[in-house]
Chains A and B, each alone.
Chain A
Amino acid sequence: MIAAGLPQRFKVGFDPNSQIFSLAGTIRPRSIDEIAESIHALREAIDAVRGVLYIDVKRLIQMNNTAFQAFIRVALDACRERSDLRLVIVTSSVVSWTTRMFRHLSTIEPQISVEVYDSMFYPGQDYFEDTSFIPILRAQTKLTWRHERTILPRHGMRPGIAVADICCGIGDFAVLAQKEFQPARIVALDHSKPSLAYARTVAAEFGVTGIEYTYGDASEMLLEDNQFDFVACRHSLQIFNQPELLLKELYRIVKPGGRVYITNEKNSHCLGEPRAQSIQWTYNELARLLSHFEMDVELGPKSRRYLADAGFDDILVESFMVTNLDGDPQDFADIIAGWEKMFAAMAARHGEAPEFIDRFRQGFRDHIFAALHPKGYAGWPIWAASGRKPL
Protein backbone atom coordinates (compact mmCIF):
# COMPACT_ATOMS: atom_id res chain seq x y z
CA MET A 1 0.00 0.00 0.00
CA ILE A 2 1.47 3.31 -1.00
CA ALA A 3 0.02 6.52 0.34
CA ALA A 4 -0.82 9.03 -2.34
CA GLY A 5 1.89 11.57 -3.02
CA LEU A 6 4.65 9.51 -1.45
CA PRO A 7 7.40 8.34 -3.75
CA GLN A 8 7.11 4.69 -4.62
CA ARG A 9 9.34 2.55 -2.46
CA PHE A 10 9.95 -0.07 -5.11
CA LYS A 11 10.81 0.35 -8.75
CA VAL A 12 11.35 -2.05 -11.58
CA GLY A 13 12.78 -0.98 -14.90
CA PHE A 14 13.88 -2.51 -18.14
CA ASP A 15 16.22 -1.03 -20.69
CA PRO A 16 16.04 -3.14 -23.84
CA ASN A 17 19.11 -1.50 -25.38
CA SER A 18 21.48 -2.49 -22.60
CA GLN A 19 19.39 -5.57 -21.74
CA ILE A 20 19.28 -4.52 -18.09
CA PHE A 21 16.33 -5.28 -15.86
CA SER A 22 16.57 -3.49 -12.54
CA LEU A 23 14.94 -3.92 -9.17
CA ALA A 24 15.36 -1.07 -6.70
CA GLY A 25 13.99 0.03 -3.36
CA THR A 26 12.07 -1.87 -0.70
CA ILE A 27 9.71 -4.71 -1.43
CA ARG A 28 8.11 -6.80 1.28
CA PRO A 29 4.83 -8.14 -0.06
CA ARG A 30 2.52 -10.41 1.89
CA SER A 31 1.70 -12.45 -1.17
CA ILE A 32 2.93 -12.78 -4.72
CA ASP A 33 -0.24 -11.15 -6.04
CA GLU A 34 0.92 -7.78 -4.77
CA ILE A 35 3.94 -7.89 -7.05
CA ALA A 36 2.30 -9.59 -10.02
CA GLU A 37 3.04 -6.65 -12.29
CA SER A 38 6.74 -6.61 -11.46
CA ILE A 39 6.99 -10.35 -11.93
CA HIS A 40 5.29 -9.99 -15.26
CA ALA A 41 7.73 -7.24 -16.22
CA LEU A 42 10.65 -9.58 -15.56
CA ARG A 43 9.04 -12.28 -17.68
CA GLU A 44 8.57 -9.80 -20.52
CA ALA A 45 12.13 -8.58 -20.23
CA ILE A 46 13.39 -12.15 -20.50
CA ASP A 47 11.23 -12.71 -23.57
CA ALA A 48 12.57 -9.54 -25.13
CA VAL A 49 16.26 -10.35 -24.91
CA ARG A 50 18.55 -12.54 -26.93
CA GLY A 51 21.60 -13.88 -25.14
CA VAL A 52 22.21 -12.12 -21.86
CA LEU A 53 19.85 -10.35 -19.50
CA TYR A 54 21.44 -8.37 -16.71
CA ILE A 55 19.37 -8.23 -13.56
CA ASP A 56 20.56 -5.26 -11.59
CA VAL A 57 19.80 -5.45 -7.85
CA LYS A 58 22.47 -2.99 -6.73
CA ARG A 59 19.84 -0.64 -5.36
CA LEU A 60 17.63 -3.21 -3.82
CA ILE A 61 17.28 -1.95 -0.25
CA GLN A 62 14.96 -4.59 1.16
CA MET A 63 13.36 -7.68 -0.33
CA ASN A 64 11.61 -10.34 1.69
CA ASN A 65 11.70 -14.04 0.95
CA THR A 66 8.27 -13.93 -0.65
CA ALA A 67 9.45 -11.49 -3.29
CA PHE A 68 12.86 -13.11 -3.63
CA GLN A 69 11.40 -16.50 -4.31
CA ALA A 70 8.84 -15.16 -6.75
CA PHE A 71 11.46 -13.38 -8.84
CA ILE A 72 13.95 -16.21 -8.88
CA ARG A 73 11.18 -18.64 -9.81
CA VAL A 74 10.74 -16.70 -13.06
CA ALA A 75 14.48 -16.63 -13.65
CA LEU A 76 14.97 -20.34 -13.00
CA ASP A 77 11.99 -21.40 -15.09
CA ALA A 78 13.18 -19.25 -17.97
CA CYS A 79 16.62 -20.88 -17.90
CA ARG A 80 15.04 -24.31 -17.93
CA GLU A 81 12.96 -23.38 -20.95
CA ARG A 82 15.65 -21.61 -22.93
CA SER A 83 19.14 -23.00 -23.17
CA ASP A 84 20.33 -19.90 -25.08
CA LEU A 85 19.53 -17.60 -22.16
CA ARG A 86 22.13 -16.33 -19.74
CA LEU A 87 21.28 -14.26 -16.70
CA VAL A 88 23.81 -12.08 -14.96
CA ILE A 89 22.69 -10.82 -11.58
CA VAL A 90 24.55 -7.72 -10.49
CA THR A 91 24.64 -7.15 -6.75
CA SER A 92 26.46 -4.50 -4.77
CA SER A 93 29.33 -4.92 -2.34
CA VAL A 94 27.48 -2.48 -0.11
CA VAL A 95 24.49 -4.71 0.58
CA SER A 96 26.12 -7.93 1.63
CA TRP A 97 22.96 -9.90 2.33
CA THR A 98 21.60 -9.50 -1.20
CA THR A 99 24.89 -10.83 -2.49
CA ARG A 100 24.61 -13.80 -0.17
CA MET A 101 21.02 -14.50 -1.17
CA PHE A 102 21.48 -14.20 -4.90
CA ARG A 103 24.78 -15.99 -5.24
CA HIS A 104 23.04 -19.34 -4.56
CA LEU A 105 21.43 -19.03 -7.95
CA SER A 106 24.69 -19.73 -9.74
CA THR A 107 24.97 -22.95 -7.74
CA ILE A 108 21.46 -24.01 -8.67
CA GLU A 109 21.55 -22.94 -12.31
CA PRO A 110 24.70 -22.82 -14.48
CA GLN A 111 23.05 -20.34 -16.88
CA ILE A 112 22.96 -17.77 -14.07
CA SER A 113 26.00 -15.92 -12.82
CA VAL A 114 26.31 -13.38 -10.05
CA GLU A 115 28.62 -10.39 -10.20
CA VAL A 116 29.41 -8.15 -7.28
CA TYR A 117 29.72 -4.60 -8.45
CA ASP A 118 32.45 -2.67 -6.77
CA SER A 119 35.05 0.04 -7.34
CA MET A 120 36.15 1.23 -10.77
CA PHE A 121 32.97 3.22 -11.13
CA TYR A 122 34.94 5.72 -13.11
CA PRO A 123 38.47 6.00 -14.46
CA GLY A 124 40.98 7.15 -11.88
CA GLN A 125 38.86 6.32 -8.87
CA ASP A 126 41.63 4.29 -7.28
CA TYR A 127 43.70 7.47 -6.85
CA PHE A 128 41.02 8.94 -4.65
CA GLU A 129 40.53 5.84 -2.56
CA ASP A 130 44.21 5.41 -1.81
CA THR A 131 45.57 6.11 1.69
CA SER A 132 48.13 8.54 0.28
CA PHE A 133 45.20 10.84 -0.45
CA ILE A 134 44.35 11.15 3.26
CA PRO A 135 46.82 13.93 4.20
CA ILE A 136 45.73 15.96 1.18
CA LEU A 137 42.09 15.82 2.22
CA ARG A 138 43.04 16.70 5.76
CA ALA A 139 44.97 19.81 4.68
CA GLN A 140 42.28 20.88 2.21
CA THR A 141 39.43 20.77 4.69
CA LYS A 142 41.46 22.63 7.28
CA LEU A 143 41.72 25.59 4.89
CA THR A 144 38.31 25.45 3.24
CA TRP A 145 36.54 25.24 6.61
CA ARG A 146 37.59 28.80 7.51
CA HIS A 147 35.43 29.93 4.62
CA GLU A 148 32.71 27.35 4.70
CA ARG A 149 31.75 27.79 8.33
CA THR A 150 30.44 31.24 7.52
CA ILE A 151 29.05 30.25 4.14
CA LEU A 152 27.12 27.20 5.28
CA PRO A 153 24.24 28.91 7.15
CA ARG A 154 23.35 30.79 3.96
CA HIS A 155 22.92 27.41 2.29
CA GLY A 156 20.61 26.03 4.93
CA MET A 157 22.93 24.54 7.55
CA ARG A 158 21.55 25.08 11.05
CA PRO A 159 21.34 23.29 14.40
CA GLY A 160 18.97 20.41 14.95
CA ILE A 161 18.62 19.22 11.36
CA ALA A 162 19.41 15.92 9.63
CA VAL A 163 22.60 16.20 7.60
CA ALA A 164 24.37 13.88 5.17
CA ASP A 165 27.87 14.33 3.80
CA ILE A 166 28.15 12.22 0.68
CA CYS A 167 31.69 11.36 -0.48
CA CYS A 168 32.85 12.45 2.96
CA GLY A 169 36.46 11.31 2.52
CA ILE A 170 38.15 11.17 5.91
CA GLY A 171 35.18 12.80 7.57
CA ASP A 172 36.77 16.03 8.81
CA PHE A 173 33.95 18.10 7.41
CA ALA A 174 31.39 16.00 9.28
CA VAL A 175 33.31 16.43 12.55
CA LEU A 176 33.63 20.19 12.07
CA ALA A 177 30.01 20.57 11.02
CA GLN A 178 28.85 18.55 13.98
CA LYS A 179 30.82 20.69 16.41
CA GLU A 180 29.81 23.98 14.90
CA PHE A 181 26.17 23.31 14.02
CA GLN A 182 25.02 20.45 16.23
CA PRO A 183 22.80 18.66 13.77
CA ALA A 184 20.30 16.14 15.14
CA ARG A 185 21.70 13.45 12.89
CA ILE A 186 24.71 13.27 10.64
CA VAL A 187 25.47 10.50 8.17
CA ALA A 188 28.82 10.51 6.36
CA LEU A 189 29.18 8.20 3.37
CA ASP A 190 32.18 7.26 1.29
CA HIS A 191 33.37 4.41 -0.86
CA SER A 192 36.92 4.35 0.46
CA LYS A 193 37.31 1.85 3.28
CA PRO A 194 40.73 3.25 4.30
CA SER A 195 39.27 6.77 4.52
CA LEU A 196 36.32 5.57 6.58
CA ALA A 197 38.56 3.56 8.90
CA TYR A 198 40.66 6.66 9.38
CA ALA A 199 37.55 8.77 9.99
CA ARG A 200 36.29 6.38 12.66
CA THR A 201 39.65 6.33 14.41
CA VAL A 202 39.89 10.11 14.44
CA ALA A 203 36.35 10.42 15.77
CA ALA A 204 37.05 7.88 18.51
CA GLU A 205 40.30 9.59 19.49
CA PHE A 206 38.63 12.94 19.81
CA GLY A 207 35.64 11.53 21.62
CA VAL A 208 33.33 12.55 18.79
CA THR A 209 30.24 10.37 18.81
CA GLY A 210 27.09 10.32 16.77
CA ILE A 211 28.50 10.58 13.27
CA GLU A 212 27.16 7.64 11.29
CA TYR A 213 30.03 6.72 8.99
CA THR A 214 28.86 4.41 6.29
CA TYR A 215 30.40 2.58 3.39
CA GLY A 216 28.46 3.12 0.22
CA ASP A 217 28.39 4.01 -3.42
CA ALA A 218 27.21 7.58 -3.87
CA SER A 219 25.54 6.74 -7.15
CA GLU A 220 23.52 3.88 -5.64
CA MET A 221 22.88 4.70 -2.02
CA LEU A 222 21.19 2.54 0.55
CA LEU A 223 19.72 5.65 2.18
CA GLU A 224 16.00 6.03 1.72
CA ASP A 225 14.25 8.92 -0.03
CA ASN A 226 13.51 12.31 1.57
CA GLN A 227 15.53 11.86 4.74
CA PHE A 228 17.82 14.86 5.09
CA ASP A 229 17.44 18.60 5.48
CA PHE A 230 20.93 19.29 4.23
CA VAL A 231 23.03 17.10 1.94
CA ALA A 232 26.63 18.09 1.27
CA CYS A 233 28.79 16.72 -1.52
CA ARG A 234 32.12 18.45 -1.50
CA HIS A 235 34.81 18.33 -4.18
CA SER A 236 33.33 15.17 -5.56
CA LEU A 237 30.88 15.85 -8.38
CA GLN A 238 33.91 16.99 -10.32
CA ILE A 239 35.64 13.63 -10.10
CA PHE A 240 32.72 11.56 -11.36
CA ASN A 241 32.33 10.97 -15.05
CA GLN A 242 28.57 11.28 -14.63
CA PRO A 243 27.88 14.05 -12.11
CA GLU A 244 24.18 14.02 -13.12
CA LEU A 245 23.82 10.52 -11.73
CA LEU A 246 25.22 11.56 -8.40
CA LEU A 247 23.04 14.65 -8.25
CA LYS A 248 20.01 12.52 -8.89
CA GLU A 249 20.85 10.50 -5.79
CA LEU A 250 21.48 13.61 -3.71
CA TYR A 251 18.14 14.94 -4.86
CA ARG A 252 16.46 11.69 -3.92
CA ILE A 253 17.67 11.59 -0.31
CA VAL A 254 17.10 15.26 0.54
CA LYS A 255 13.68 16.22 1.92
CA PRO A 256 11.41 18.46 -0.14
CA GLY A 257 12.32 21.96 1.02
CA GLY A 258 15.80 20.76 2.06
CA ARG A 259 19.00 21.77 0.30
CA VAL A 260 21.85 20.05 -1.50
CA TYR A 261 25.17 21.84 -1.08
CA ILE A 262 28.04 21.16 -3.47
CA THR A 263 31.55 22.53 -3.73
CA ASN A 264 33.70 22.23 -6.81
CA GLU A 265 36.78 23.76 -8.34
CA LYS A 266 37.91 25.34 -11.52
CA ASN A 267 41.44 24.13 -11.46
CA SER A 268 42.71 26.24 -14.34
CA HIS A 269 41.96 29.29 -12.18
CA CYS A 270 44.45 28.39 -9.47
CA LEU A 271 46.90 31.24 -9.37
CA GLY A 272 50.02 32.67 -7.81
CA GLU A 273 52.53 35.47 -7.84
CA PRO A 274 55.42 35.41 -8.50
CA ARG A 275 55.90 32.83 -11.28
CA ALA A 276 52.33 33.26 -12.46
CA GLN A 277 52.92 31.85 -15.94
CA SER A 278 54.42 28.56 -14.92
CA ILE A 279 51.66 28.10 -12.35
CA GLN A 280 48.98 28.90 -14.88
CA TRP A 281 50.44 26.50 -17.42
CA THR A 282 50.44 23.61 -14.98
CA TYR A 283 46.86 24.10 -13.84
CA ASN A 284 45.65 24.38 -17.42
CA GLU A 285 47.42 21.13 -18.13
CA LEU A 286 45.98 19.60 -14.98
CA ALA A 287 42.44 20.28 -16.14
CA ARG A 288 43.29 18.74 -19.49
CA LEU A 289 44.96 15.71 -17.91
CA LEU A 290 42.04 14.98 -15.61
CA SER A 291 39.62 15.23 -18.51
CA HIS A 292 41.35 12.10 -19.85
CA PHE A 293 40.22 10.43 -16.65
CA GLU A 294 36.75 11.77 -17.37
CA MET A 295 36.89 14.21 -14.47
CA ASP A 296 35.76 17.76 -14.96
CA VAL A 297 37.78 19.78 -12.47
CA GLU A 298 36.49 22.90 -14.23
CA LEU A 299 33.01 22.15 -12.94
CA GLY A 300 32.74 24.91 -10.29
CA PRO A 301 31.07 27.61 -12.40
CA LYS A 302 28.81 24.98 -14.00
CA SER A 303 27.24 24.23 -10.62
CA ARG A 304 24.26 26.43 -11.32
CA ARG A 305 23.43 24.57 -14.51
CA TYR A 306 23.90 21.15 -12.93
CA LEU A 307 21.66 22.03 -10.01
CA ALA A 308 18.99 23.49 -12.28
CA ASP A 309 19.07 20.47 -14.60
CA ALA A 310 18.71 18.17 -11.60
CA GLY A 311 15.44 19.89 -10.67
CA PHE A 312 16.50 22.13 -7.80
CA ASP A 313 15.12 25.62 -7.32
CA ASP A 314 16.22 28.65 -5.28
CA ILE A 315 19.79 28.04 -6.44
CA LEU A 316 22.58 29.94 -4.72
CA VAL A 317 26.12 30.10 -6.07
CA GLU A 318 29.11 31.78 -4.54
CA SER A 319 32.84 31.43 -4.78
CA PHE A 320 35.69 31.87 -2.40
CA MET A 321 39.44 31.75 -2.69
CA VAL A 322 41.57 29.71 -0.34
CA THR A 323 44.91 31.52 -0.13
CA ASN A 324 48.28 31.36 1.54
CA LEU A 325 47.18 34.28 3.71
CA ASP A 326 44.30 32.35 5.28
CA GLY A 327 46.52 31.05 8.03
CA ASP A 328 49.88 29.36 8.07
CA PRO A 329 51.19 29.51 4.47
CA GLN A 330 52.75 26.11 5.06
CA ASP A 331 49.28 24.57 5.16
CA PHE A 332 48.64 25.88 1.69
CA ALA A 333 52.02 24.62 0.53
CA ASP A 334 51.26 21.16 1.96
CA ILE A 335 48.14 20.86 -0.16
CA ILE A 336 50.02 21.75 -3.31
CA ALA A 337 52.82 19.32 -2.46
CA GLY A 338 50.23 16.57 -2.15
CA TRP A 339 48.70 17.52 -5.49
CA GLU A 340 52.10 17.51 -7.19
CA LYS A 341 52.74 13.93 -6.17
CA MET A 342 49.32 12.60 -6.94
CA PHE A 343 48.83 14.35 -10.26
CA ALA A 344 52.36 13.59 -11.46
CA ALA A 345 51.54 9.92 -10.90
CA MET A 346 48.36 10.31 -12.92
CA ALA A 347 50.28 12.07 -15.71
CA ALA A 348 52.75 9.19 -15.79
CA ARG A 349 49.92 6.68 -15.97
CA HIS A 350 48.42 8.62 -18.82
CA GLY A 351 51.72 8.19 -20.66
CA GLU A 352 52.98 11.77 -20.64
CA ALA A 353 56.64 12.29 -21.60
CA PRO A 354 59.19 12.81 -18.81
CA GLU A 355 59.87 16.39 -20.03
CA PHE A 356 56.20 17.15 -19.74
CA ILE A 357 56.04 15.71 -16.25
CA ASP A 358 59.05 17.82 -15.19
CA ARG A 359 57.45 21.01 -16.41
CA PHE A 360 54.11 19.94 -14.95
CA ARG A 361 55.67 19.40 -11.54
CA GLN A 362 57.51 22.72 -11.75
CA GLY A 363 54.22 24.63 -11.83
CA PHE A 364 53.17 23.09 -8.52
CA ARG A 365 56.58 23.89 -7.06
CA ASP A 366 56.22 27.47 -8.24
CA HIS A 367 52.81 27.61 -6.62
CA ILE A 368 54.43 26.49 -3.37
CA PHE A 369 57.17 29.07 -3.92
CA ALA A 370 54.53 31.79 -4.29
CA ALA A 371 52.71 30.58 -1.19
CA LEU A 372 55.82 30.68 0.98
CA HIS A 373 57.32 33.84 -0.54
CA PRO A 374 57.23 36.71 1.96
CA LYS A 375 55.53 38.94 -0.60
CA GLY A 376 53.87 36.15 -2.55
CA TYR A 377 50.23 35.32 -3.03
CA ALA A 378 48.79 31.94 -3.92
CA GLY A 379 45.16 31.07 -4.46
CA TRP A 380 42.82 28.11 -4.99
CA PRO A 381 39.31 29.17 -6.00
CA ILE A 382 36.25 27.15 -5.03
CA TRP A 383 32.59 27.40 -5.99
CA ALA A 384 30.02 26.64 -3.31
CA ALA A 385 26.49 26.19 -4.55
CA SER A 386 23.22 24.86 -3.28
CA GLY A 387 19.71 24.26 -4.47
CA ARG A 388 16.43 23.48 -2.82
CA LYS A 389 14.37 20.43 -3.61
CA PRO A 390 10.93 21.83 -4.46
CA LEU A 391 8.20 21.23 -1.90
Chain B
Amino acid sequence: MGASVNKTTETAFEPLLQFDMEMEDFLSDWHHCDHVSSYLARMISHNRTDPVRHSNFFSSALNELLEVSFRGGTTDGKIGLSIYRQGATERVQLSFPCPPGQARFYREAVSKTRESDAQARYLDAISNDLAPSRESVLLDLAVNYDARLRLDEDAAPAITLIVDLPLEGEGMVS
Protein backbone atom coordinates (compact mmCIF):
# COMPACT_ATOMS: atom_id res chain seq x y z
CA MET B 1 0.00 0.00 0.00
CA GLY B 2 1.48 3.39 -0.99
CA ALA B 3 2.16 6.04 1.64
CA SER B 4 0.01 8.59 -0.12
CA VAL B 5 -3.01 6.30 0.07
CA ASN B 6 -2.52 6.03 3.81
CA LYS B 7 -2.35 9.79 4.13
CA THR B 8 -5.67 10.43 2.46
CA THR B 9 -7.53 7.88 4.52
CA GLU B 10 -5.84 9.11 7.66
CA THR B 11 -6.88 12.73 7.17
CA ALA B 12 -10.50 11.73 6.76
CA PHE B 13 -10.46 10.29 10.26
CA GLU B 14 -11.27 12.72 13.02
CA PRO B 15 -9.27 12.22 16.21
CA LEU B 16 -11.44 11.50 19.25
CA LEU B 17 -8.94 10.87 21.99
CA GLN B 18 -5.46 9.84 22.87
CA PHE B 19 -4.22 7.93 25.84
CA ASP B 20 -0.82 6.71 26.92
CA MET B 21 0.70 5.02 29.92
CA GLU B 22 4.10 3.68 30.93
CA MET B 23 4.13 0.03 29.93
CA GLU B 24 5.50 -0.86 33.32
CA ASP B 25 2.44 0.61 35.01
CA PHE B 26 0.08 -0.88 32.48
CA LEU B 27 1.53 -4.36 32.97
CA SER B 28 1.32 -4.09 36.74
CA ASP B 29 -2.39 -4.96 36.79
CA TRP B 30 -4.39 -7.13 34.41
CA HIS B 31 -7.55 -5.14 35.21
CA HIS B 32 -6.14 -2.14 33.39
CA CYS B 33 -7.35 -3.75 30.16
CA ASP B 34 -10.92 -3.92 31.43
CA HIS B 35 -10.91 -0.50 33.09
CA VAL B 36 -9.31 1.37 30.21
CA SER B 37 -11.53 -0.24 27.59
CA SER B 38 -14.73 0.37 29.56
CA TYR B 39 -13.82 3.94 30.40
CA LEU B 40 -12.71 4.98 26.93
CA ALA B 41 -15.67 3.22 25.33
CA ARG B 42 -18.06 5.24 27.47
CA MET B 43 -16.27 8.45 26.55
CA ILE B 44 -16.35 8.03 22.80
CA SER B 45 -19.84 6.54 22.56
CA HIS B 46 -21.97 9.27 24.07
CA ASN B 47 -22.77 10.86 20.72
CA ARG B 48 -23.40 7.62 18.86
CA THR B 49 -26.97 6.64 17.99
CA ASP B 50 -27.19 4.05 20.75
CA PRO B 51 -24.50 5.02 23.25
CA VAL B 52 -25.06 2.13 25.65
CA ARG B 53 -24.80 -0.61 23.06
CA HIS B 54 -22.06 1.14 21.14
CA SER B 55 -20.02 1.45 24.27
CA ASN B 56 -20.54 -2.20 25.14
CA PHE B 57 -19.54 -3.30 21.67
CA PHE B 58 -16.54 -1.02 21.39
CA SER B 59 -15.30 -1.92 24.85
CA SER B 60 -15.46 -5.56 23.94
CA ALA B 61 -13.24 -5.11 20.86
CA LEU B 62 -10.85 -2.67 22.52
CA ASN B 63 -10.39 -4.94 25.50
CA GLU B 64 -9.21 -7.76 23.24
CA LEU B 65 -6.62 -5.46 21.69
CA LEU B 66 -5.42 -4.30 25.08
CA GLU B 67 -5.16 -7.89 26.23
CA VAL B 68 -3.00 -8.63 23.19
CA SER B 69 -0.63 -5.84 24.18
CA PHE B 70 -0.70 -6.97 27.80
CA ARG B 71 0.25 -10.51 26.90
CA GLY B 72 2.76 -9.56 24.22
CA GLY B 73 4.27 -6.29 25.41
CA THR B 74 7.51 -5.50 27.23
CA THR B 75 8.08 -3.05 30.07
CA ASP B 76 10.35 -0.57 28.28
CA GLY B 77 8.45 2.35 26.86
CA LYS B 78 4.86 3.38 26.63
CA ILE B 79 1.59 1.98 25.46
CA GLY B 80 -0.15 4.53 23.26
CA LEU B 81 -3.74 4.45 22.19
CA SER B 82 -5.48 6.79 19.77
CA ILE B 83 -9.08 6.60 18.67
CA TYR B 84 -10.40 8.20 15.50
CA ARG B 85 -13.76 8.31 13.83
CA GLN B 86 -14.95 8.46 10.28
CA GLY B 87 -18.68 8.05 9.77
CA ALA B 88 -19.76 4.69 11.11
CA THR B 89 -16.21 3.52 11.72
CA GLU B 90 -13.95 3.92 14.73
CA ARG B 91 -10.26 3.48 14.23
CA VAL B 92 -8.13 2.23 17.09
CA GLN B 93 -4.41 2.77 16.84
CA LEU B 94 -2.55 0.88 19.50
CA SER B 95 1.25 1.04 19.92
CA PHE B 96 3.27 -0.93 22.39
CA PRO B 97 6.86 -2.13 22.74
CA CYS B 98 7.39 -5.80 22.13
CA PRO B 99 10.38 -8.14 22.13
CA PRO B 100 12.59 -8.03 19.03
CA GLY B 101 11.50 -10.49 16.41
CA GLN B 102 7.86 -10.29 17.44
CA ALA B 103 6.99 -7.83 14.72
CA ARG B 104 7.15 -10.64 12.22
CA PHE B 105 4.66 -12.66 14.24
CA TYR B 106 2.19 -9.76 14.29
CA ARG B 107 2.77 -9.08 10.60
CA GLU B 108 1.73 -12.63 9.78
CA ALA B 109 -1.16 -12.70 12.21
CA VAL B 110 -2.53 -9.45 10.83
CA SER B 111 -2.20 -10.54 7.26
CA LYS B 112 -4.09 -13.75 8.04
CA THR B 113 -7.04 -11.71 9.19
CA ARG B 114 -7.31 -10.32 5.68
CA GLU B 115 -7.19 -13.61 3.84
CA SER B 116 -10.22 -15.39 2.48
CA ASP B 117 -9.79 -18.31 4.88
CA ALA B 118 -9.91 -16.10 7.99
CA GLN B 119 -13.23 -17.51 9.09
CA ALA B 120 -12.11 -21.12 8.59
CA ARG B 121 -8.94 -20.45 10.60
CA TYR B 122 -10.97 -18.83 13.34
CA LEU B 123 -13.40 -21.75 13.52
CA ASP B 124 -10.51 -24.15 13.61
CA ALA B 125 -8.93 -22.25 16.47
CA ILE B 126 -12.05 -22.07 18.60
CA SER B 127 -12.96 -25.69 17.99
CA ASN B 128 -9.58 -27.09 18.98
CA ASP B 129 -7.61 -24.73 21.20
CA LEU B 130 -7.89 -24.65 24.94
CA ALA B 131 -7.03 -20.98 25.20
CA PRO B 132 -7.02 -18.26 22.57
CA SER B 133 -3.76 -17.38 20.88
CA ARG B 134 -3.03 -13.77 20.00
CA GLU B 135 -3.58 -14.80 16.42
CA SER B 136 -7.07 -16.11 17.08
CA VAL B 137 -7.94 -12.95 19.00
CA LEU B 138 -7.11 -10.89 15.92
CA LEU B 139 -9.13 -13.29 13.78
CA ASP B 140 -12.04 -12.86 16.21
CA LEU B 141 -11.98 -9.12 15.58
CA ALA B 142 -12.03 -9.64 11.83
CA VAL B 143 -14.72 -12.32 11.88
CA ASN B 144 -17.06 -11.12 14.62
CA TYR B 145 -16.59 -7.36 14.42
CA ASP B 146 -15.88 -6.98 10.69
CA ALA B 147 -12.65 -5.26 11.72
CA ARG B 148 -9.97 -4.39 9.17
CA LEU B 149 -6.50 -4.68 10.62
CA ARG B 150 -3.14 -3.26 9.60
CA LEU B 151 0.27 -3.20 11.17
CA ASP B 152 2.65 -0.26 11.29
CA GLU B 153 6.26 -1.04 12.17
CA ASP B 154 7.72 2.44 11.74
CA ALA B 155 8.61 2.82 15.39
CA ALA B 156 10.37 -0.54 15.96
CA PRO B 157 10.76 -2.27 18.35
CA ALA B 158 7.32 -0.91 19.16
CA ILE B 159 4.53 -2.02 16.86
CA THR B 160 1.29 -0.29 16.04
CA LEU B 161 -1.92 -2.14 15.34
CA ILE B 162 -4.42 -0.12 13.35
CA VAL B 163 -7.91 -1.53 13.59
CA ASP B 164 -10.98 -0.15 11.86
CA LEU B 165 -14.25 -1.12 13.49
CA PRO B 166 -17.44 -0.41 11.52
CA LEU B 167 -19.65 -0.70 14.56
CA GLU B 168 -22.62 1.41 13.61
CA GLY B 169 -23.26 -0.21 10.26
CA GLU B 170 -25.00 -3.45 9.33
CA GLY B 171 -27.47 -3.22 12.18
CA MET B 172 -24.79 -4.22 14.68
CA VAL B 173 -25.66 -1.27 16.83
CA SER B 174 -28.67 0.48 15.43
A residues in contact (CB < 8 Å) with B: 1, 26, 28, 30-32, 61-62, 64-66, 68-70, 72-73, 76, 94-97, 100-101, 104, 107-109, 187, 189, 200, 209-210, 212-216, 222-223
Contact = CB atoms under 8 A, between A and B. Distances in A.
B63 A62 contact: yes
A214 B145 CA distance: 20
11 contacts: A28-B34, A65-B140, A69-B126, A69-B132, A73-B130, A96-B57, A107-B123, A214-B53, A216-B52, A222-B52, A223-B52
Q: Chain A at the B interface: mostly helix, strand, loop or mixed?
A: mixed
Contact of B126 (A26, A28, A100, A108): A108
B129 A69 contact: yes
A187 B63 CA distance: 24
Contacts of B153: none
A279 B64 CA distance: 60
Nearest to B170: A96
Contacts of B61: 97
* Chain B, interface residues (CB within 8 Å), range: 35 or more
A10 to B, nearest CB: 12
Given A94-B53, A101-B144, A65 B137 contact: yes
Contact of A72 (B67, B126, B143, B144): B126
Nearest to B124: A108
B46 to A, nearest CB: 7
Contact of B123 (A108, A213, A216, A222): A108
Given A96-B53, A96-B172, 17 more contacts: A28-B33, A28-B67, A61-B56, A62-B34, A62-B63, A64-B67, A69-B136, A70-B131, A95-B56, A97-B60, A97-B144, A104-B123, A108-B126, A187-B51, A200-B49, A210-B46, A214-B52
Interface string B104-128: 0000000000000000001100110
Contacts of B56: 61-62, 95, 222
B50 A213 contact: yes
B52 A212 contact: yes
Interface of B: 30-31, 33-34, 46-47, 49-53, 56-57, 59-61, 63-64, 67, 122-123, 126-127, 129-132, 136-137, 140, 143-145, 171-173
A214 B51 contact: yes
A76 B127 contact: yes
Candidate in A69, A187, A215, A216 with the most chain B CB atoms within 10 angstroms: A69
A63 to B, nearest CB: 8
B142 to A, nearest CB: 12
B131 A64 contact: no
A255 to B, nearest CB: 17
A212 B51 contact: yes
A368 to B, nearest CB: 38
B53 A222 contact: yes
Contacts of A30: 30
A331 to B, nearest CB: 31
A104 B124 CA distance: 11
B60 A214 contact: no
Contacts of A214: 50-53
B130 A215 contact: no
Contacts of A100: 143-145
Given A1-B31, A69-B126, A96 B64 contact: no
Nearest to A196: B50
